[in-house]
Chain A
């Protein structure tokens, strides 16, 4: 188990290293001179030179990359050119919106999808299955940001159960904060839940066809007992894979959903940065998102080993 974890950790670090190289290359090397890019074509030569000095563009690229990575490791993400504030602090503020939103949605999606998938698999071919499958088929097809607009229309504008947008902040209490994230989280979660429920169902159906399920029935377990005791845990392996993948979709989706609800999260930050050509901010936010995805996949790998004894043994 320890060896397995170390191996995954090594591949995590390697992935992060390569990902940071790619991002660095796209942002700082591909556009030619980032300073004149950020200032636009009408910039004065001396302003460009000042920015070059500020960004440290005169040092060799390799050195700049190392400085950038080294800075991130110690929590220094540089200074935003447009806002004149440390990028780390800007990100930290926004992260307190985006991360809870993604986690809230992940929780909702898992809580809805797993029971729905198990229910559908247990009633395979019967009306209950058909209803769940029909609903998921529709859920998969709905764009989450459109669903978000509809939620605003119904629950915020017509019923007035929620605010139409904005974020109350955490300092007014946990519940107030959660309340303003609820509609966005539902909008994010339901389409993902539809996918997850389908995966859960089909993984279970695959396992129901396995020999050991027949063995379990021959021992005297009822259909339902066999499903719960033998199928669900085996089905967790593909389901965990999808949950891991979904986290990245939820994080990316959160960026879009923030636009609908005017939430001050990473999404708004990055879009403002793009229009202001603030490459430093874009670079950091993208790296952070990729870091989150890779780390979550690392945790999923560890979770596999908890579920599957074969992996634990294999190193």
Chain B
């Protein structure tokens, strides 16, 4: 007997078709993963099952929960279903909780709103589920407010709210995407345990095939609102009937081949770098003290070398990046490029700065929306004493755009005319245009869909061959760092805990933290051989 049976679910908003005849089913105790890239309609499928769609959405088809068609229920009847029979967990734990109410209050609300228990019983139940999701009473009393908890802890509260009434079905929409890899592993374990204990069905929405392969019983692959393939996890990976599934799989574990680096000669030298931030003053008289974001970091990046820097959020990797770029001063140590300091006296050293460029994470936020591509790409010319003008300038723009796989004619367009992947290409063109000796990639592929990410990684490999790039690749994504770097640094709490050849570090991690990171990272099954 199936728990949830979706048949021919079709959804459109205005003239835009979002879902097209989506069918899938979930049995009690089963974990079904719905996966696909952005725009595939996976989240909309989940919201349709909850009937939490935008008001203008038009739906057809059937969503049967134990034989009852949810699409035919009244709104009042749906309110009784939500929270009681279907629980839901969302992507963004930082904003999913009401900031002005305590966590106990918010967990109890699920119970009280359905009139399932009286206040005392509800309080006891709230305590019990918080305990169950790993928030023990001594450290997490019911009176805590959301802002006092970390992202992972907040996600646990959201899960507690969703399971407080032991629903038959739990829908989790990218529940770990916003979390660090070690936290992600814990949350995934928790979800698996809950499914086992309560015999719930779990519909897991995720873009990450590796996450899915570890825990799902069955997988549903979606693209542009359609289900392209579904089946039991092992068979699906073994067969991969649909070319899109194969492409997704290939792109998720995409490998590139880098040209061999030249013999070592130091380019960037970081020596005992220290970066402190003053903490907000809590006492009028007492010195507020400092937070040491980067603590005595030393490493060398050789000319022509591709160096990786991995670590979880808050480890100090972004701060280190800004210090290398000369955007922030150091409180100790020094950073040298080709022997010259990045920061001289109280000013960033322009002579050094013009030899470095950076590519940021967000393909949407890294360009001024009011300027044309030509102006965007040539912004680094500001660093030069005599920037090229007229024809030379146009030629430089054309060359940079061509190098990243765009057309010279794109120079006259505005940034909103490009897709995310194309924007990231433009960001690389902007970095290349002054032929810097060092490029910093700050989470440069983290916001991209896997297929686009694979293309950008290919581009990077091509550029390495064509321009002999030296770069520092900063990322939280171990699988990407593994393929695009020669050497890797592992950073934790402001310090480098391990560094070495990428292949060696991944094969035989020495530091306990590196081992924990690697163990927590979800991996794709090895089916290439099968």
Chain A directly contacts chain B within the complex, with at least one CB pair under 8 Å? yes
A residues lining the B interface (CB < 8 Å):
3, 6-7, 210-212, 214-222, 225, 229-230, 233-234, 307-310, 313-315
A308 to B100 CA separation, bound complex (whole angstroms): 6
A241 to B165 CA separation, bound complex (whole angstroms): 39
Given contacts A214-B96, A219-B82, 5 further A-B contacts (CB under 8 A): A212-B96, A212-B97, A215-B90, A234-B99, A234-B100
* Distance between A11 CB and nearest chain B CB, rounded to angstroms: 12
B260 within 8 Å of A by Cβ? no
A220–B100 contact, CB under 8 A? no
A230 to B97 CA separation, bound complex (whole angstroms): 10
A230–B282 contact, CB under 8 A? no
B114–A217 contact, CB under 8 A? no
* Distance between A235 CB and nearest chain B CB, rounded to angstroms: 10
A181 to B110 CA separation, bound complex (whole angstroms): 48
A230 to B83 CA separation, bound complex (whole angstroms): 16
Closest A residue by C-beta to B100: A233
Contacts of B80 in A (CB 8 A): 220
A234–B110 contact, CB under 8 A? no
A218 to B280 CA separation, bound complex (whole angstroms): 37
A218–B147 contact, CB under 8 A? no
B329 within 8 Å of A by Cβ? no
B residues lining the A interface (CB < 8 Å):
50, 52, 75-76, 79-84, 87-88, 90, 92, 95-101, 109-110, 113-114, 145, 147-148, 158, 161-162, 280-284
User: Which of B75, B76, B99, B113 meets A219, CB within 8 Å?
Assistant: B113
B99–A215 contact, CB under 8 A? no
A24 to B81 CA separation, bound complex (whole angstroms): 67
* Distance between B171 CB and nearest chain A CB, rounded to angstroms: 8
B79–A220 contact, CB under 8 A? yes
A315–B280 contact, CB under 8 A? yes
User: Which of B92, B97, B113, B147 meets A220, CB within 8 Å?
Assistant: B113
User: Which of A6, A218, A309, A315 meets B88, CB within 8 Å?
Assistant: A218
Question: Can you give 20 contacting A-B residue pairs, CB < 8 Å?
Answer: A212-B99, A218-B82, A218-B83, A218-B90, A219-B109, A220-B80, A220-B81, A220-B84, A221-B113, A222-B75, A225-B113, A229-B109, A307-B100, A308-B100, A310-B99, A313-B145, A313-B147, A313-B148, A315-B280, A315-B281
* Distance between A266 CB and nearest chain B CB, rounded to angstroms: 37
A309–B161 contact, CB under 8 A? no
User: Which of B99, B113, B114 meets A308, CB within 8 Å?
Assistant: B99
A222–B79 contact, CB under 8 A? yes
A313 to B158 CA separation, bound complex (whole angstroms): 22
* Distance between B178 CB and nearest chain A CB, rounded to angstroms: 11
Contacts of B100 in A (CB 8 A): 233-234, 307-309
Q: Is the interface of A mostly helix, strand, loop or mixed?
A: helix
Contacts of A210 in B (CB 8 A): 95
The verdict on A230 contacting B98 (CB below 8 Å), with A218-B162, A219-B109, A309-B145 known, is: yes
* Distance between A149 CB and nearest chain B CB, rounded to angstroms: 43
A217–B95 contact, CB under 8 A? no
A214 to B47 CA separation, bound complex (whole angstroms): 10
The verdict on A215 contacting B84 (CB below 8 Å), with A222-B79, A310-B147 known, is: no
Closest A residue by C-beta to B50: A218
A211–B90 contact, CB under 8 A? yes
Closest A residue by C-beta to B147: A310
Contacts of A220 in B (CB 8 A): 79-84, 110, 113-114
The verdict on A310 contacting B145 (CB below 8 Å), with A211-B95, A219-B113 known, is: yes
* Distance between A53 CB and nearest chain B CB, rounded to angstroms: 45
A211 to B75 CA separation, bound complex (whole angstroms): 20
A212 to B101 CA separation, bound complex (whole angstroms): 11
A217–B113 contact, CB under 8 A? no
A3–B282 contact, CB under 8 A? yes
Contacts of B145 in A (CB 8 A): 309-310, 313
A40 to B84 CA separation, bound complex (whole angstroms): 81
B96–A219 contact, CB under 8 A? no
Contacts of A216 in B (CB 8 A): 98, 109
B95–A221 contact, CB under 8 A? no
A217–B82 contact, CB under 8 A? yes
A212 to B281 CA separation, bound complex (whole angstroms): 31
A135 to B307 CA separation, bound complex (whole angstroms): 63
A233 to B99 CA separation, bound complex (whole angstroms): 10
A135 to B283 CA separation, bound complex (whole angstroms): 49
A215–B113 contact, CB under 8 A? no
* Distance between A256 CB and nearest chain B CB, rounded to angstroms: 38
A315 to B283 CA separation, bound complex (whole angstroms): 8
Contacts of A221 in B (CB 8 A): 79, 83, 109, 113
* Distance between B414 CB and nearest chain A CB, rounded to angstroms: 27
A217 to B90 CA separation, bound complex (whole angstroms): 12
Closest B residue by C-beta to A234: B100
A214 to B173 CA separation, bound complex (whole angstroms): 12
The verdict on A219 contacting B147 (CB below 8 Å), with A3-B282, A212-B95, A310-B99 known, is: no
Closest B residue by C-beta to A207: B98
Contacts of B82 in A (CB 8 A): 217-220
Closest B residue by C-beta to A217: B52
Contacts of A6 in B (CB 8 A): 284
* Distance between B25 CB and nearest chain A CB, rounded to angstroms: 21
B87–A218 contact, CB under 8 A? yes
The verdict on A219 contacting B110 (CB below 8 Å), with A230-B98, A234-B98, A310-B147 known, is: yes
4 residue pairs, one from A and one from B, having the closest CB atoms: A220-B83, A211-B95, A218-B88, A219-B83
Q: Which of B84, B92, B100, B281 has the most CB of A within 10 A?
A: B100
A214–B90 contact, CB under 8 A? yes
User: Which of B76, B99, B113, B162 meets A309, CB within 8 Å?
Assistant: B99
A215–B96 contact, CB under 8 A? yes
Closest A residue by C-beta to B110: A219
A219 to B81 CA separation, bound complex (whole angstroms): 9
Q: Which of B75, B87, B96, B158 has the most CB of A within 10 A?
A: B96
Contacts of B158 in A (CB 8 A): 215
Contacts of B79 in A (CB 8 A): 220-222
A212–B282 contact, CB under 8 A? no
Closest A residue by C-beta to B55: A125
Contacts of B76 in A (CB 8 A): 222
Closest B residue by C-beta to A314: B280
A234 to B319 CA separation, bound complex (whole angstroms): 33
A221 to B147 CA separation, bound complex (whole angstroms): 23
Contacts of B97 in A (CB 8 A): 212, 215
* Distance between B228 CB and nearest chain A CB, rounded to angstroms: 28
Contacts of B281 in A (CB 8 A): 315
Closest B residue by C-beta to A220: B83
* Distance between A29 CB and nearest chain B CB, rounded to angstroms: 34
B92–A211 contact, CB under 8 A? yes
B148–A219 contact, CB under 8 A? no
A232 to B95 CA separation, bound complex (whole angstroms): 17
* Distance between B111 CB and nearest chain A CB, rounded to angstroms: 9
Contacts of A7 in B (CB 8 A): 284
A212 to B100 CA separation, bound complex (whole angstroms): 11
Contacts of A313 in B (CB 8 A): 145, 147-148
A230 to B75 CA separation, bound complex (whole angstroms): 19
A7 to B280 CA separation, bound complex (whole angstroms): 13
Q: Which of A7, A218, A313 has the most CB of B within 10 A?
A: A218
Contacts of A234 in B (CB 8 A): 98-100
Closest A residue by C-beta to B75: A222
A229 to B99 CA separation, bound complex (whole angstroms): 12
Contacts of A222 in B (CB 8 A): 75-76, 79
* Distance between A302 CB and nearest chain B CB, rounded to angstroms: 16
* Distance between A241 CB and nearest chain B CB, rounded to angstroms: 16
A315–B282 contact, CB under 8 A? yes
